Structure 1
Amino acid sequence: MAGFRARSQELVDLGVVPYPAVTLVLDLGDGPLAVGDGTGRPQGGGLVLGLASSGVRGSGRGIECLQLRLSPVLAHAVLGGGAARAGGEVLPLEGLWGREAGRIEERLRAAGEWEERFALVAQALARRAAAGRAVDPEVAHAWHRLAASRGTARVERIAEEVGWSRKRLWSRFRDQLGLGPKRAAQLIRFDHAAHLLAAGRSAAGVAAQSGYADQSHLHREVLAFTGATPSAVAAAPWLAVDHVAWADPGYLSGR
């Protein structure tokens, strides 16, 4: 979890770089935070960005929000399978949590300190995770293997490890996490490359370090995920705060 606050009343308009997690955004500011995925009108309030979300932009003035990144394995239980249904879209949290979404937002607005807000959300997540339905252990294993290998583990080998056919693993993975294992691997690999680019590494070096065939291969995947070039992604404001906001395994508040 991380807390974000833009104290200035100037308009903030940021493109969101895709990330291998299901993202929840809880709007706590005085002015509305509008988030859109290019498929319709921008939405506000509590929102869920699916694992395959791309083309997402957030804008507003005086922004204050709490953002969560959930492993899709956890998100399946916490969101009642809604993360998989979201796919690449932005969905209202109320549609998945009902009235509880509004109640949590009210409690978060009443809490003045970030630490109290984080604790409230952690309690809500724990309750829903305990009551929710977990993904298949084989699907969880596949996701963790892909994440640990930064997207380079072969799906065929993972299927052998869990004792499933490649077709069965592909089907169950997609049904429960919202995208196939190959696409998940591409997203994880892209994320690793994007952060290396943001750290100032050359595109050629990043391609070699991240498992791409060559620099052109990297360029094509970055363009497919973001609609931008590697140099533009390297300068993305959204990536610039990652090392601050997400540096701790638990949470830090970003300013």
Structure 2
Amino acid sequence: MRTFVHGAASWGVACPSEPSRVAGVTMAGFRVRDLDAIRLVPHPAVMLLVEFGAGSPVVDRAAGRRWRGSLVAGPGLGADGGVWARGEDVACVQVRLSPTIAGAVLGVPPAELDGGIVTLDELWGREASRLGERLAEAPSWPDRFALTDALLARRRRDGEAVDPEVAWAWRRIVRSGGAARVEGLAAEVGWSRKRLWSRFRSQLGLPPKRAARLVRFDHAAHRLLAGHDVARIAADAGFADQSHLHREVVAFTGVRPGAVADEPFLAVDPLAWPGSTPPGRAPAAG
């Protein structure tokens, strides 16, 4: 376990030594003695948070909703900057699920999450609490990652896959950094535009244009974090200009582009999810 230090934040961070056996799954482990309120930054994945510590994470929404314990969040949670997490003595495994496999793993399609949050108990019942108990009893982080991965692999095997055309369209959007022209995706898979939009939305939880915006924002946010030039980011990521980039960052985070690197939820990514972010500045680790 390494230490993430960013301003007043200090977290223990663990990463698996091997990739998941399930394509589309990445994991990280966290221990935080005192998790001061941090803003959740939207990400183009379904987030599964399995807590097993003495404390319990609390997630608050600006509208007044509150959730405790192990959670599942739809892709893009936190858009508008109005979702915050906090807690004491928090220990958890965080899983990022590609929307193309999330429905099979969770047992419900991401569309039923509608970009929001549900407790893991609501989806998995007793299986959720059993996983938390086993993680608490596990002697090491490699054991915790192995336990989690085995469960995800079993559920993935038994779950229903999304349409190949939908999975292809999602991969095309991700590989392009959100710059793919979504108007042409339907023609490329041989579907009508209406059919692709409908199937994409029902199976992945968001329409193709929203998916492209979210992927493009995520790509730009990590380049901002790495210290890249704003004008170059705007040009490379397919924004019309710097003003367009500015508006999108504010819409997704509630803060200006220059403040994105000060968001601990995003700044921990180079340490917690190595290889998933552009090269550049990284937070201190010890």
Specify if TM > 0.5: yes
Deviates more, 1:44-53 or 1:184-193: 44-53
Q: Given the alignment of the two structures, is residue 178 of structure 1 paired with residue 205 of structure 2, yes or no?
A: yes
* 1:88-167 pair list within 5 angstroms: 88-167=115-194
Partners of 1:50 and 1:90 within 8 A in 2: yes
User: Structure 1 vs Structure 2: percent identity of aligned residues?
Assistant: 56
SS at match of 1:81: coil
Give the secondary-structure state (helix, strand or coil) at the position aligned to 1:88.
coil
The 1-side partners of 2:39 and 2:255 are apart by 11
Amino acid at match of 2:161: A
Counterpart of 1:5?
31
What does 1:1-255 correspond to in 2, within 5 Å?
A: 1-6=27-32, 8=33, 10-54=34-78, 55-247=82-274
Deviation at 1:41, TM superposition (A): 3.3
Write the distance in 2 (CA, Å) between the matches of 1:115 and 1:147.
Answer: 29
- C-alpha contact 1:37 1:90 (8 A) present in aligned 2: no
Secondary structure in structure 1 of the residue aligned to 2:69: coil
Deviations 1:188-227 (A, max 9, x none): 0000000010111232222112110100000111111111
Query: How far, CA to CA, are the matches of 1:210 and 1:151 in structure 2?
Result: 8
Are 1:78 and 1:125, in contact at CA under 8 Å, matched by a contact in 2?
yes
For residues 40 and 189 of structure 2, what CA distance do their matches in structure 1 show?
A: 34
Show structure 1 runs of 5+ residues with no match. none
Greater alpha carbon shift after TM alignment, 233-242 vs 133-142: 233-242
What is the alpha-carbon root mean square deviation over aligned residues? 1.6
SS at match of 2:67: coil
CA distance in 2, matches of 1:219, 1:244: 26
- Please give the alpha-carbon distance, in whole angstroms, between the structure 1 residues aligned to 2:145 and 2:211: 28
Shift of 1:38: 3.1
Quick one: which amino acid aligns to residue 64 of structure 1? A
TM-score for the superposition, normalised by structure 1: 0.93
Task: Give 1:11 deviation, angstroms.
Answer: 4.5
Using the TM superposition, name which of 240-249 and 166-175 deviates more.
Answer: 240-249
1:155/1:166 contact within 8 Å kept: no
2:183 and 2:233 map into 1 onto residues whose CA distance is 26
Determine the C-alpha separation between the residues in 2 that align with 1:248 and 1:195: 12
**Scaled by the length of structure 2, what TM-score is found?**
0.83
Name the CA shift for 1:247/1:186 in 2 (closer, same or farther; >3 Å).
same
Shift of 1:27: 1.3
SS of the residue corresponding to residue 150 of structure 1 reads coil
Q: Deviations over 1:18-74 (max 9, x none)?
A: 111000111122122101233443212210011131132110122211100000001
Matched AA of 1:101 = A
Mapped to 2, the partners of 1:215 and 1:193 lie a distance apart of: 11
Q: Structure 1 pair 155/11, CA: closer, same or farther in 2 (3 Å)? A: closer
User: 1: CA distance between counterparts of 2:163 and 2:35?
Assistant: 44
The answer to whether the 8 A contact 1:36-1:90 is kept is: no
Taking the aligned partners of 2:56 and 2:134, their CA distance within structure 1 comes to 18
Q: Name the aligned partner's letter for residue 23 of structure 1.
A: M
Number of residue pairs the alignment of both structures matches:
249
Letter of the aligned partner of 2:48 in structure 1? L
Structure 2 unaligned residues grouped into runs of 5+: 1-26, 277-284
